[in-house]
Amino acid sequence: MERKVSLAEIKTIAKLSKLSFSEQELANFSEDVNSVISHFEKLNRLDLQGVSPTSHISWGQPPLNPDEAVVWENRDWVLEQAPEVCGRLIVVPKIVEK
Amino acid sequence: MDNYYVTIGLEVHCQLLTTTKMFCRCKTDYFGKAPNTLVCPVCLGLPGSLPVLNEQALRLAILTAQALNCRILPRVVFHRKNYFYPDLPKGYQISQYDLPIGVEGKIEFDFKGNREAVRIKRVHAEEDAGKLVHEGLNLPFGCSGVDFNRCGIPLVEIVTEPDLHSPEEARECLVMLRNVVRYIGVSDGNMEEGSLRCDANVSVSPSPEKMGTKVEVKNMNSFRSVFRALRYEVDRQVELLEKGESLYQETRHWDEARGITLSARGKEEAEDYRYFPDPDLLPITLEDSFLKEIKAAISELPLTRKERLMIEHELPENEANILVQDKTLADFFEEALKEFNQPRLLCNWMLTEVLKNLNEAGIDITESKVSPQQLAELLRMIDKGEISGTIAKGVLEEMFTTGLDAREIVSKKGISLISNEKELEKVVLEVVEKNPQSVADYLSGKEKALHFLIGQVMKETKGQANPEIVKDILLKKLASEE
């Protein structure tokens, strides 16, 4: 059965992502997201009873880092990429409202 | 208020004592560092970078869960907790969700003469976010500054079940949690510096069968503020219920300066983290041998140590409790005890004179210039009658500033106990003559008067008289007055 994503859900996701869109854009998203979802709906045709969800496609023990510091030399370059800096702080619009 | 049942659960974050961050190899000692100097593509969330778990962070998180008697789950799985905030460059925090490191643990502590056991719901590992700076030098109006030095620092989150029933009990539980993480060396547990943070869920209900509405309180930065915030919140909720008003589930922030909690509404509805397993981090299967190796590192925990000090050294509970609050203080005590085996006397000196000197210098025992051996030597000198207790206090003060041995200070200053009876007899005679009332008091059976007279002799001799000999001479003299 196909599940439709409502406009309200699209609006919630946009809000969670702190993004704003025009009504037209939201309507377009609704359409796009629904076509993506209906594509994946095809997977529901498979009988997956007894198969556990796959979150990772590789197995075995992953590598671990030793607890020894390595300095990244390009740290100043990052500041050059920021739209605005103040000293070494990256400047962003204030989002805390009291 | 007595007609209400209070229910409190704690959520405690501790910064793990690793050298490097949780998923990259940047250093963790961000305190006082210039902003954005301890960063790399991984902790900045630059495209294409991949996280690799720090083995030591994993070990410390497991150790925490073990020390809290948790069942350790066989697989470690990390989830992405998605939310957008400027201090979180990836747009998600790597945390744990349905498979934490440990579950179903407990922590025990003594409260009002009872042994309390609070269940631990879960212990999980996660990374810290960066820091937003809202005020400061030359920041443009309406802007904040972001410092990513803290981003990716390993944390362990400890969640208790709602088993606490008063702000006082919650504080005691938190103190014990802090002591445990310090004892096992996973965190320095410093609330003021933010290496230990605490949120609390509080509810009140007129009936023990029915839980009240849960309110989450955040932003408490000291043990004192946790206690004050909880007490305020309990009172506030009871007051509303008394007025017949209803409570609703919400998050409130503690305002330390005003001493109140404020609703942080608006944020809740946005709280939908859409957790999913982080595909960049493979699950880790924990071998029994690995878990055993970690567990072997658990030293004696505070509660056990307190009991041992009470049994082995016959210390009163209160004193033993103060000693074990700080592992390094208890270590110092036991070290000194090896060379001066009078636990009660040593303990008294530790909790009065040693703590006083530390407080005055604003340092803790690990920074002290006086070693346990040096303190033991000073106490041996009193014990042997080489110096009086009064003199020793001054000597200890000097030891704290100079780091010299007691014996060196004593000989340098020419301090010695006057044990010469002839010399002391003269002083005793003078004191007796000057204080006829005290003599009469003593003779009429007031024991206290004797102490006063000994004190006068000590004063005359500037503390250098041997108090035992003074007492003997005085008693002889007073006996002859009868």
Q: Where are the domains of chain A?
A: 7-45
Q: Cβ contact (<8 Å) for B282 and A59? A: yes
Question: How near does any CA of chain A get to the CA of B196, in Å?
Answer: 21
CB contact under 8 A, A84 and B139: no
The CA distance from A79 to the nearest CA of chain B, in Å, is 8
List the single residue in A with minimal CA-CA distance to B136: A86
Q: Does residue B344 or residue A60 have the better pLDDT? A: B344
How confident is the model over A32-67, as pLDDT tens digits?
Answer: 988 898 888 888 888 888 887 777 877 778 999 999
Instruction: Please give the C-alpha separations between residue B413 and each of B81, B398, B410, B416, B449, in angstroms, as whole numbers.
Output: 66, 11, 5, 9, 32
Q: Which residues are CB-neighbours of B274 under 8 A, at least 6 positions away?
A: A16, B82
Q: Are B388 and B465 in contact (CB under 8 A)?
A: yes
Helical H segments across chain A, by residue range: 7-16, 23-41, 75-81
Residues B282, B427 within the same domain = no
Q: Does B265 share its domain with B156? A: yes
Chain A contact for B22, CB < 8 A? Answer: no
**Span B147-171, pLDDT tens digits:** 999 999 999 999 999 999 999 999 9
Look up residue A76 and give its amino acid: D
Q: Where are the alpha helices (DSSP H) in B221-367?
A: 223-242, 288-295, 302-312, 317-325, 327-337, 343-349, 355-361
* Structural domain of B427: 421-481
Q: Kindly tell me if the per-residue pLDDT of A97 is higher than 60.
A: no
User: How far apart are the C-alpha atoms of B453 and B460, rounded to whole Å?
Assistant: 11
Is there a single domain that holds both residue B383 and residue B312? yes
CA-wise closest residue to B252 among B199, B212, B216, B200? B216
Burial class, B321, CB count within 10 angstroms (exposed 0-12 / middle 13-18 / buried 19+): middle
- Can you read off the two tokens belonging to residue B328? 């390094």
The separation between CA B109 and the C-alpha centre of its own chain, rounded to angstroms, equals 14
> Hey, of A67, A75, A85, A88, which one would you mutate to test binding to chain B, going by the most B CBs within 10 A of its CB?
A67
DSSP state of B347: H
Tokens of A28: 């377009």
Domain-ending residue, one of B255, B271, B294: B294
Q: What is the mean pLDDT of residues B33-50?
A: 95
| pLDDT-derived band at B291, boundaries 50, 70, 90 | very high
State percent of chain B over pLDDT 70: 96
* Whether the predicted pLDDT of B137 surpasses 80: no
B321 and B382 co-located in one domain: yes
In this prediction, residue A98 has a pLDDT band, given cuts at 50, 70 and 90, of very low
pLDDT for the residue B111: 92
- Does B447 or B337 have the greater pLDDT score? B337
Helix or strand run (H / E) with residue B263: strand B260-263
Could A68 and B41 be called an inter-chain contact, meaning their C-beta atoms sit closer than 8 Å? no
How far apart, in whole angstroms, are the C-alpha atoms of residue B128 and residue B458?
60
With an 8 Å Cβ cutoff, are B279 and A96 in contact?
A: no
- Residues of chain A in contact with residue B136, where contact means CB-CB under 8 angstroms, are 86, 89
Does residue B6 surpass a pLDDT of 60? yes
CA distances to A57, A59, B95, B213 from B281, rounded to whole Å, are 11, 11, 11, 37
Judged by average pLDDT, the poorest of B68-72, B95-99, B268-272 is B268-272
Please report, rounded to a whole number, the percentage of residues in chain B having pLDDT higher than 90: 61
Q: What whole-number distance in Å separates Cα of residue B236 and Cα of residue B251?
A: 14
Q: How far is CA B367 from CA A17, B173, B274, B364, B437, in A?
A: 49, 28, 47, 6, 49
B306 with B453, same domain: the answer is no
Q: What is the pLDDT of residue B119?
A: 97
**Could you tell me which residue, B259 or B424, shows the higher pLDDT?**
B259
pLDDT > 80? residue B207? yes
Tens-place pLDDT, residues B63-86: 999 999 999 999 999 999 998 889
Task: Give the lowest-confidence range in B86-95, B97-106, B452-461.
Answer: B452-461
Looking at the structure of chain B, the number of domains it has is 3
Q: What is the pLDDT of residues B8-34, one digit of tens each?
A: 999 999 999 999 999 999 999 998 899
Which of B19, B22, B25 should we substitute to test contact with A (largest number of A Cβ atoms within 10 Å)?
A: B25
Grade residue B340 by pLDDT with cuts at 50, 70 and 90. Answer: very high
Q: What is the pLDDT of residue B418?
A: 66
| CA-CA-CA-CA torsion sign (B148, B154, B160, B161) | positive
Kindly report the nearest CA distance between residue A27 and chain B, in angstroms: 21
Q: Yes or no: say if B295 and B70 are a contact pair by the CB < 8 Å rule.
A: no
Only one residue has tokens 């590789």, namely A58
pLDDT at B419: 64
pLDDT at residue B123 greater than cutoff 80: yes
Here the tokens at position B226 are 């946790």
Residue that is last in its domain, among B268, B294, B320: B294
Rounded average pLDDT over B339-348:
92
Cα dist from B244 to B216, B234, B241, B247, B249, whole Å: 21, 16, 5, 10, 17
A64 contacts B58? CB cut-off 8 A: yes
Q: Cβ contacts (< 8 Å) between A86 and chain B: which residues?
A: 136-140, 143, 145
Across-strand partners of B115? Answer: B110
Closest partner residue to B53 (CB to CB) among A65, A84, A88 is A65
Are B390 and B465 in a shared domain? no
The domain spanning residue B468 has which CATH number? 1.10.10.410
Out of A65, A68, A92, the one facing B86 most closely (by C-beta) is A92
Q: Which residue has the higher pLDDT, B481 or B184?
A: B184
Same domain, B334 and B462: no
B263 interfaces chain A, CB cutoff of 8 Å: no
Task: Identify whether residues B435 and B380 lie together within a single domain.
Answer: no
Indicate the residue among B413, B445, B469 that finishes a domain.
B413
For residues B79-105, average pLDDT? 94
Distance from CA of A18 to the nearest CA of B (A): 7
pLDDT at residue number B194: 87
Mean pLDDT for chain B? Answer: 90
Does the interface ipTM go beyond 0.90?
Answer: no
- According to DSSP, the residues that pair with B360 across neighbouring strands are none
